[in-house]
Amino acid sequence: MADSAGQRIICLLGPTGTGKSSLAIALACEWNAELVNFDSRQVYRSFPLITAQPERKDYAACRHWLYGFLASNETLDAGQFASLARDRVADINRRGRIPMLVGGTGLYLRSFLSGLAPIPEIPAAIRNRVLQQCRDKGPEALHLLLQSCDPETARKVHPRDRQRLTRALEVCQATGRPISWWHQRQTPDASTYRALKIGIWTELETLRPRLENRIASMIAKGALDEVRQAWEDCPDAQAPGWSGIGCREILEYHLGRWSLEQARQEWLRRTRAYAKRQLTWFQRDEEVHWLRSGELKKARDCVHKWLSAAGAGGEGQGS
């Protein structure tokens, strides 16, 4: 793992649909920054549209890392992400540029900045047993089990999120303690980054019509075809990639189980609920400088002030 002591980073965070990506690109172009994804859905290669990954024009504007590289049947836990991101950030810093982490998966960012909870290694037999339970009974049954042994985590995990459900249950069964108990005992990593955290804030009432419009736009641009092709490549509904919001709903439509309107409404409902959870998570962090969506000038001022205080100078840093 690369030594993180003294490495400067900018973190642009917040709920889905608030315009983080466009703001990040504008800032990156101004300061020669490079963007590093910390969204757990945007890592999947088969869903660039539904997960709102950068478009061709975005890649042309600045360099992007850790987007769209994972197959649908693969997983990327927080520890694996932290290792990949730390190596990428170290490389960007070595080249004299500024790494900017962009996303909304709070656990990924926390693991990157502070390390992981000290959870013991889970025996393979327990892990395999929980995975088999999920295959036999379905994720909803596992969610009911989790409610009894770790209600705090169960409230935060969607009943169809196979990856997080199986992880939480295997930790309960292997250690006798809920995963929420272990997370409370997480200790910061000895090596720390010099980080500026900018959060993009939008009230949920304001966000709802934006999310509705974004979903409609994704469908119009080809979300149905994206799911059809992804299903041809990975016809396994239990694969991790299919647990993403939007992916699962459109798959239900593709398989003839739901109408398109049912899929669209459930996609919206889950997206809004996820945005609310993201806001709750990030609001706990007192280091976040909150801005409203679209406040580019304030974001510029915030970055300029931070870079100057950090001894990195003003605009146009990097090479």
Give 120's DSSP letter: P
Round the average pLDDT of the chain to a whole number and report it. 89
Q: What is the pLDDT of residue 188?
A: 52
Give CATH 3.40.50.300 domain extents, the chain: 8-116+186-309
Contacts of 270 (CB under 8 A, 6+ apart): 158, 245, 249
Point out the residues of the chain with pLDDT beneath 70: 1-6, 116-118, 185-191, 310-319
Measured on CA atoms in the order 206, 208, 209, 214, is the torsion positive or negative? positive
CATH architecture, domain 8-116+186-309: 3-Layer(aba) Sandwich (3.40)
Q: What is the pTM of this model?
A: 0.80
Q: What is the pLDDT of residue 139?
A: 87
Amino acid at 206: T
The answer regarding whether domain 124-184 maps to CATH 1.10.3720.10 reads no
Q: What is the CA radius of gyration of the chain?
A: 20
Q: How many CB atoms within 10 Å of residue 82?
A: 23
Q: What is the pLDDT of residue 187?
A: 56
> Six-digit token pair at 284?
């706990």
Facing residues of 11 across strands?
A: 101, 197
